[in-house]
Structure 1
Amino acid sequence: MTAATTQPSPDGVQPRIAYADDLYGWAMEQAVALRAGDVSALDRENLAEEIESLGRSEFYALVEAWRGILLHMLTTDYQSERRVREWALTIEGERGRAAYLLADSPSLTSRLEEAMIRAYCGARLDAARDTGLPVETFPEACPYTRDDLLTRDFPVDPTT
């Protein structure tokens, strides 16, 4: 680890590795200090920011899982003649990813509706791009329920 010059934090403690200079080195140094109980060596402001960022990334991962499901639901519903096995498999894969995220972070369940709304905005644009249909073809508001996202069946010809 290389030492970097930094400004002391408001409490006068100077980290050895600057957050802005080497995120990985800083994180490893912070983990060592935290495990050792050396509170005076912690870069508390940046540490708190990183923990909050970690929480946000879990939410965005849920949004992306919902987005994948919604995209393939839209393409299946609006181009059923092109329905392929891959779409159903993608939906199942994204359902599994969402389930793991929710199992690992149960408090995300309080934000499921928000995640679905955010995901649908992107999925609608993705569906327009992927199908070649005008974006106005797809409803402005999400036409699916949470139950649809989680359990709706997508039968396909297994040879496609």
Structure 2
Amino acid sequence: MTQTITRKFLYESDYLLWTQETIAKLKARDFDHIDFENLIEEIEDLGRSYRDELESRLDVLLSHILKRLYVPLPNDYNGWERTIREQRKQIRRRLEKSPSLKNYLPEIFDKIWQDVIKEVREDYPQYDFPDLWQFDRDIDTLLNGNFWS
């Protein structure tokens, strides 16, 4: 009981030290003294954070693609295109580290699309945007397509 309280206290009071001690215990195979409850929670959070990052980057990517395609403000094109390139680069990097995230993309695309289309319509009510994404949804198209050429 005291060890559980001590482990939980360390996790709550000094997260970095908790991670270092947990790693040391795992390497030493000292499984009797590992704070499994918080370790499991941290691993779950890590997976969630990867999915959250993909959602966020996809949101920004789609938003800027839409603006670049449908908002005729040439002075803004360069900024939107730079943002598109940056989001694509970051998504590529994340997918290289976690290829299984590619399977998550079809699951979230419609939800992200609905959020994006609502926001761009609110930001640019004077322009017409399509109700549906008009291009392929596969990751290669999203990361490489030049939709406005």
Which range, TM-score by smaller chain?
0.7 to 0.9
Q: Which runs of 5+ in 1 are unaligned?
A: 1-5
| 1:42 aligned partner, one-letter code | I
Does residue 15 of the first structure (1) align with residue 46 of the second (2)? no
Q: Say if 2:69 and 2:147, in contact at 8 Å, map to a contact too.
A: no
Cα distance in 2, alignment partners of residues 7 and 20 from structure 1? 15
Identity fraction in percent: 29
1:74 to 50, 66, 75: 66
| 1:39 aligned partner, one-letter code | F
Question: How high is the TM-score relative to the length of structure 2?
Answer: 0.79
The SS at the match of 2:7 is coil
Does residue 145 of the first structure (1) align with residue 136 of the second (2)? yes
Structure 1 stretches of 4+ with a deviation exceeding 6 A read none
Q: Deviations over 1:52-103 (max 9, x none)?
A: 1101111111111211110101112221344511211211111111111111
Q: Say if 1:63 and 1:118, in contact at 8 Å, map to a contact too.
A: no
CA distance change for structure 1 residues 15 and 102 in 2, over 3 Å: closer, same or farther?
same
Q: Which runs of 5+ in 2 are unaligned?
A: none
Query: How many corresponding residue pairs?
Result: 146
Cα distance in 2, alignment partners of residues 17 and 71 from structure 1? 43
Residues 6-155 of structure 1 correspond to what in structure 2 (within 5 A)? Answer: 8-9=3-4, 14-15=6-7, 17-82=9-74, 83-129=76-122, 131-133=123-125, 138-139=129-130, 141-147=132-138, 148-153=141-146
CA distance change for structure 1 residues 111 and 16 in 2, over 3 Å: closer, same or farther?
closer
Q: Say if 2:63 and 2:120, in contact at 8 Å, map to a contact too.
A: yes
